Structure 1
């Protein structure tokens, strides 16, 4: 809940958006959950004022959620008369707009507001948010706000599951919201992902030359330049963003990832074997990354992947006890999205395989990750890691029956049924031969 409140407050202060009424409603709900009812009411008043300014022509329809929230908060405060007064406002408006329900209105604006709220509440709600925006767009396909919400949701889902298409929705959202810099940088990142980096950089530079939503533009532009290999440029942009948001865990995490990227550049340039002078540079980069990930976790102890990145940096300098402690913190966290759990098992498996030289434990965690059936990039990496390790063990004649069976499983998970059957048949023949020997 503290993470959610922090994200909402950052958005209100730093992101130029036309849906501020909705985000204030969500903030009021968080205040209510914390028992801060008077503050929740004040936030709802701010939501009401914003709706009057932003949607004067639809004020009644757009205010229904806010009025319902007023009734909710007053009910929990035991102020029944005020709660009833707002229920009456909702009922009268639903009647005026010819809704068949006393307290519910089916409208694309309602679907859109629900979509924004779900989107803000985390990855486990993205699919539901996408469905809300799709429902709204079915009624008004050229609505700029609905298009924006759908594009952002599709963009986030595409980083979890490659089957989600986000390029066309992002292009459409940019066309309908030509002044919005936030959606431009998201389009730039997607273009970079599909190999159209030059076009993506055009949008990045366009956004950087605009004063709107600058701290958000800086953080996403930095990701673009980090992926391009211009890591110093990325760090520079993140430091500019930090001037406005010094307590942003996300920004410190991103700077940590930049130092991690510089570390990988050095290792790649030295064929993964840095000499003494370069080793000093490596140790400096590792310590800088550790400092940033530690600051990230001080500000936001629930950011699971920061524990993983911190663990990997400790492993780089041979501090395996500290690495294990941080991996265990990530592995033991509750309420983690499926794709994130898969990613944690993948990274921990690689730690066991390459640092601790325990292939059995690596296989255990690759399999644990694969038991989670969410289709994701992390799942693909788990299949690939399992297949490579199984092939290696077959070549080295280690636990051959088990290793061939694991190859069969990897083929099966990739949909390669014929290859999977061949592996399972081979494993059965090997088992029969072993039994005959004994």
Structure 2
């Protein structure tokens, strides 16, 4: 037994030094079933391309997390087979996969196999010693893995691609990854004429002229300044659709483009087409629900698509909160329970809490007729991020509610109104104005 534990401990210390899925802390920030569906979809789309090796590698890791060790092994071996086929003698592309295989054999107590892969990694390391390709290939796979697994990793992905591009600035694949990471982590304003994201998307398209998804991301970002760039943006959408008319990602982003223009019928038709190709996409179900809601028809379709989105991705915070609001619209007892679940998820996931407060505020205001609770949720939402789009919506709701209260009470010095006005000034950093309204609130309460 002492030899067994000594061997295992020695291997573990070597394994922890490897760059692979097992050492990238990927276990807690994604939903396995949703990720599994997206990886299987990616394999179908990229089955004839060299980069499909990455999808098989990630799928192997996800199968390991599911406890399916043989399926994990089969997918990792498939990744190795395809890498050798597509990349010939380029051992560097196998670094991450060999690391994953070493870890997998370690976990199933096949220590001799584990040692074999560790020796292979040592051989590759010696072979490429002093060449930047070792680091570039690791950063490449790490960046794409972060992009695929969760939006929480988008900033980390951006940093991986940035570092890799410093060593290989003209790599088309790295430029595409960096462009997508920038798109996810930045928000341009209408006057962002010198946007780094737009510049990087243009650079990536120059190096990947047949990538329809990049064209659509650029078109979407150009809509921020639609008065000047609408026509060129629309032309890019048409070109992208002609390039890849059956790619569900292309259809999805095209639908988003038309949704932002207010053309809901076109957007819904496109997303329904995309759903035929990817019926297990939680994102598409959620988008369809929101579009039916925006045109204020087919409430049953909204609820159906939201239910499907949540069944495919149970931690989909926004979908749970949206479903809660729709059940509130129906007067259903399910609304309260769903909002409780949405708040719990938002706190656990550490995201979308502001959106849940905003939606719950609407629920309390319009369907529960509870003005104090509505005020409370809009105030909480505003406090979280005053300058965000949702923060401004919360502020607008508070101001509208105050105006109605003043009109009803015929008193601008109402204690609740003064307190909320003081709060709005406080979160904006306007201390003197906040103190003035808080004093008026106190005077009203003392009367």
TM-score range, shorter chain: 0.7 to 0.9
Deviates more, 1:116-125 or 1:206-215: 206-215
Distance 1:152 1:375, change over 3 A: farther
Distance 1:259 1:94, change over 3 A: same
Distance 1:254 1:432, change over 3 A: closer
Q: Does 1:38 align with 2:73?
A: no
Residue in structure 1 matching 2:309, options 274, 277, 296? 296
Q: Does 1:361 align with 2:385?
A: no
3-state secondary structure, aligned to 2:327:
helix
Tell me by how many angstroms 1:368 deviates: 3.4
CA contact under 8 A between 2:37 and 2:280: conserved in structure 1? Answer: no
Aligned match of 1:24: 56
Aligned match of 1:143: 171
Tell me by how many angstroms 1:69 deviates: 0.6
CA contact under 8 A between 1:25 and 1:66: conserved in structure 2? Answer: yes
d(CA) in 1 for partners of 2:46, 2:402: 48
CA contact under 8 A between 2:320 and 2:338: conserved in structure 1? Answer: yes
In structure 2, stretches of 5+ residues that fail to align are: 1-31
Q: With structure 2 as the length reference, what TM-score do the two structures score?
A: 0.81
Q: Does 1:223 align with 2:223?
A: no
Aligned match of 2:94: 63
Tell me by how many angstroms 1:180 deviates: 0.6
Aligned match of 1:271: none
Q: Does 1:345 align with 2:345?
A: no
Residue in structure 2 matching 1:407, options 421, 425, 432? 421
Distance 1:323 1:130, change over 3 A: same
In structure 1, stretches of 5+ residues that fail to align are: 264-281
Tell me by how many angstroms 1:291 deviates: 2.2
Tell me by how many angstroms 1:94 deviates: 1.2
CA contact under 8 A between 2:425 and 2:433: conserved in structure 1? Answer: no
Distance 1:373 1:93, change over 3 A: farther
Tell me by how many angstroms 1:161 deviates: 11
3-state secondary structure, aligned to 1:98:
coil
3-state secondary structure, aligned to 1:302:
coil
Aligned match of 1:181: 212
CA contact under 8 A between 1:408 and 1:421: conserved in structure 2? Answer: no
Distance 1:118 1:166, change over 3 A: same
Distance 1:158 1:412, change over 3 A: farther
Residue in structure 2 matching 1:199, options 218, 232, 236? 232
Q: Does 1:166 align with 2:178?
A: no
d(CA) in 1 for partners of 2:366, 2:413: 19
Aligned match of 2:334: 322
The alignment covers a number of residue pairs equal to: 408
User: Deviation digits for residues 315-344 of structure 1, max 9, x if unmatched?
Assistant: 44x424233333232222266554412111
d(CA) in 1 for partners of 2:173, 2:265: 35
CA contact under 8 A between 2:320 and 2:341: conserved in structure 1? Answer: yes
Tell me by how many angstroms 1:288 deviates: 2.2
Tell me by how many angstroms 1:73 deviates: 0.4
CA contact under 8 A between 1:61 and 1:93: conserved in structure 2? Answer: yes
Aligned match of 1:6: 37
Residue in structure 2 matching 1:305, options 299, 302, 318? 318
d(CA) in 1 for partners of 2:398, 2:122: 58
Tell me by how many angstroms 1:31 deviates: 1.0
Q: With structure 1 as the length reference, what TM-score do the two structures score?
A: 0.83
Provide the aligned C-alpha RMSD in A.
3.1
Distance 1:41 1:99, change over 3 A: farther
Aligned match of 2:7: none
d(CA) in 2 for partners of 1:114, 1:390: 50
Tell me by how many angstroms 1:43 deviates: 0.8
d(CA) in 2 for partners of 1:313, 1:250: 18
